[in-house]
């Protein structure tokens, strides 16, 4: 069940076939194989940890680094380069990696870099040349393949443990459901540290043999040019990206004519974006659903089964229950409750966090998503809300407590509370309320600047409002 072996085997069988195109080059199978083997040798000489960090822009080098780590029998840790310095350092320390494969240009652009580890800059190494012969490691299905860190309610990211069996299962499930072939071309702009970008836009096309086109940056006009050049058959993005494409004045229906699957995930698709996109480009956006903890895909609305606001039926071998929050019992069609999921793609738990791992599953070993939804009589799932506090901002998970903890560290803030409000482009945006210490003056700009220095930019509240006092709960603590 090793996730990398089918990819390596395909590179050997079809060495001259172009499998990837990124901003810098076209990758043939032999080039991916050689690059991964050379990286494996370099990592083997420099690293002794069981985990290998990867912090790279969306490109063909990311899968080369992942294949290298798996070839050595290591666990891949995709690093979110949007995190602030202390958040990034926490993830690196928590996963225990001693080496991070990265790019000097990316680090210079971001202004942050992982501390306390060996940085392997791609600019300083050669991915070409005859590699040292190395037989790839073979894993069991229960062996850890990747740690994907997602925001946690404690204010610190949690490491989602995805096994080789989880990833192989999800790849097989998606392939059975949507029937991609080697004649397809998938267009990908999502970051590869994101579970959607990691599984669906990186591992899936390389496993089944279709071509994938990557773009490291989402610049709407440039994306339209790439669509014209490469004529993809599949496009997967988040709602805010589809909304941004509407701003390109010379974009036309012809630019999207080759696409047979156009899919939105990561956050709810606003009705206004759905309607405007279909009206202008003649393409109906289908929604999908999944979580980092489910590797990630659990539902996918296929074009011939389209139902507005549905994220589709469950993909093969995924069992979904809707559980009444009061009674804890399953409910029938059209009734709302918490969405719970069981399947071979569901994570093994949270890294170094047995308590949270146990709490994540119910007595029947269904994963508690914290999302609220309903299923119709044909099995189509509709997401109607979230039971957890988590917000989804531009496709990224954000917990109010992370923002509150940052605000509470400011010398003028006595207490704070954060809520989410709907946003047409970003899905949601955080809004903060603060109670100041005696004698302090309210300065919204200063507080926002403080937040930018403490947390990732997408977590910074769009508005910060002052209250004389925050509401308190029955125990006398802040209700937030």
Give the model's pLDDT for residue 155: 66
User: Of 177-181, 206-210, 323-327, 367-371, where does mean pLDDT reach its minimum?
Assistant: 323-327
Give the model's pLDDT for residue 20: 98
- pLDDT band for position 475 (50/70/90)? very low
pLDDT tens by residue, 354-401 = 999 999 999 999 999 999 899 999 999 999 877 666 788 888 878 787
Whether the predicted pLDDT of 238 surpasses 60: yes
Under CATH, which architecture does the 5-375 domain have? Answer: 3-Layer(aba) Sandwich (3.40)
Give the model's pLDDT for residue 474: 34
Report the topology of domain 391-466: GMP Synthetase; Chain A, domain 3 (3.30.300)
Average pLDDT over residues 128-148: 94
Whether the predicted pLDDT of 16 surpasses 60: yes
Give the model's pLDDT for residue 478: 44
Whether the predicted pLDDT of 153 surpasses 70: no
Give the model's pLDDT for residue 1: 83
Whether the predicted pLDDT of 234 surpasses 70: yes
> Residue ranges per domain, the chain?
5-375, 391-466
Q: What is the 3-state secondary structure (H, E, C) of the chain?
A: CCCCHHHHHHHHHCCCCEEEECCCCEEEHHHHHHHHHHHHHHHHHHCCCCEEEEECCCCCHHHHHHHHHHHCCCEEEECCCCCCHHHHHHHHHHHCCCEEEECHHHHHHHCCCCCCCEEEEHHHCCCCCCCCCCCCCCCCCCCEEEEEEECCCCCCCEEEEEEHHHHHHHHHHHHHHHCCCCCCEEEECCCCCCHHHHHHHHHHHHHHCCEEEECCCCCHHHHHHHHHHHCCCEEEECHHHHHHHCCCCCCCHHHHCCCCEEEECCCCCCHHHHHHHHHHHCCCCEEEEECHHHCCEEEECCHHHCCCCEEEEECCCCEEEEECCCCCCECCCCCCEEEEEECCCCCCEECCCHHHHHHCECCCCCEEEEEEEEECCCCCEEEEEECCCCEEECCEEECHHHHHHHHHCCCCEEEEEEEEEEECCCEEEEEEEEEECCCCCCCHHHHHHHHHHHCCHHHCCCEEEECCCCCECCCCCECC
Q: What is the mean pLDDT of the chain?
A: 93
Give the model's pLDDT for residue 472: 47
More confident residue, 423 or 94: 94
Give the model's pLDDT for residue 100: 98
Whether the predicted pLDDT of 240 surpasses 60: yes
Whether the predicted pLDDT of 453 surpasses 80: yes
Average pLDDT over residues 300-317: 95
Give the model's pLDDT for residue 443: 96
Report the percentage of the chain scoring pLDDT > 90.
81
Give the model's pLDDT for residue 387: 66
Give the model's pLDDT for residue 480: 37
Report the percentage of the chain scoring pLDDT > 70.
96
- pLDDT band for position 167 (50/70/90)? very high
Give pTM, 2 decimals: 0.86
User: Of 20-34, 69-83, 461-475, where does mean pLDDT reach its minimum?
Assistant: 461-475
pLDDT tens by residue, 266-276 = 888 888 889 99
């Amino acid at each position: 069940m090793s996730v990398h072996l089918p990819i390596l085997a395909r590179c050997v069988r079809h060495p001259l076939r172009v499998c990837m195109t990124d901003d810098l080059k076209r990758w043939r199978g032999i080039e991916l194989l050689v690059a991964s083997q050379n990286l494996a040798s370099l990592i083997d000489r420099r690293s002794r940890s069981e985990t290998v960090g990867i912090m790279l822009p969306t490109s063909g080098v990311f899968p080369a680094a992942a294949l290298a780590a798996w070839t050595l029998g290591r666990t891949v840790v995709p690093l979110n380069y949007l995190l602030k310095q202390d958040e990034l350092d926490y993830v690196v320390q928590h996963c225990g990696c001693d080496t991070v494969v990265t790019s000097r240009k990316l680090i210079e652009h971001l202004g942050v870099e992982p501390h306390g580890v060996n940085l392997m800059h791609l600019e300083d190494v050669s991915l070409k040349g005859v590699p040292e012969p190395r037989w790839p490691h073979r894993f069991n299905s229960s062996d850890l393949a990747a740690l994907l860190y997602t925001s946690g309610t404690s204010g610190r990211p949690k490491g989602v443990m995805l096994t080789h069996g989880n990833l192989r299962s999800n790849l097989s499930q998606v392939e059975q459901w949507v029937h991609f072939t080697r004649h397809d071309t998938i267009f990908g702009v999502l970051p590869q540290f994101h579970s959607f970008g990691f599984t669906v836009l990186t591992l899936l096309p390389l496993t089944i043999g279709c071509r994938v086109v990557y773009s490291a940056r989402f610049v709407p006009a440039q994306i339209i040019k790439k669509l014209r050049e490469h004529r993809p058959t599949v496009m997967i993005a988040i709602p805010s990206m589809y909304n941004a494409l509407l701003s390109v004045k010379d974009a036309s229906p012809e630019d999207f004519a080759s696409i047979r699957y156009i899919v939105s995930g990561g956050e709810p698709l606003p009705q206004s974006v759905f309607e405007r996109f279909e009206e202008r480009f003649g393409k109906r956006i289908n929604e999908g659903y999944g979580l980092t903890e489910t590797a990630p895909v659990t539902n996918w609305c296929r074009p011939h089964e389209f139902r507005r606001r549905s994220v589709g039926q469950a993909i093969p071998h995924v069992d979904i229950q809707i559980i009444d929050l009061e009674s804890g019992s399953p409910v029938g069609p059209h009734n709302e409750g918490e969405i719970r999921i069981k399947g071979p793609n569901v994570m093994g738990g949270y890294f170094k966090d047995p308590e949270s791992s146990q709490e994540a599953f119910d007595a029947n070993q269904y994963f508690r998503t914290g999302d609220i939804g309903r299923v119709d009589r044909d099995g189509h799932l509709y997401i109607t809300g979230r039971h957890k506090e988590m917000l989804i901002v531009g496709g990224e998970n954000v917990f109010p407590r992370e923002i509150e903890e940052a605000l509470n560290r400011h010398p003028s803030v006595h207490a704070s509370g954060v809520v989410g409000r709907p946003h047409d482009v970003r899905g949601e945006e955080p809004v903060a309320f603060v109670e100041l210490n005696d004698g302090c003056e309210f300065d919204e700009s200063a507080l926002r600047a403080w937040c930018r220095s403490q947390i990732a930019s997408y977590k910074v509240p769009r508005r910060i409002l002052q209250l004389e006092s925050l509401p308190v709960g029955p125990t006398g603590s802040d209700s937030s």
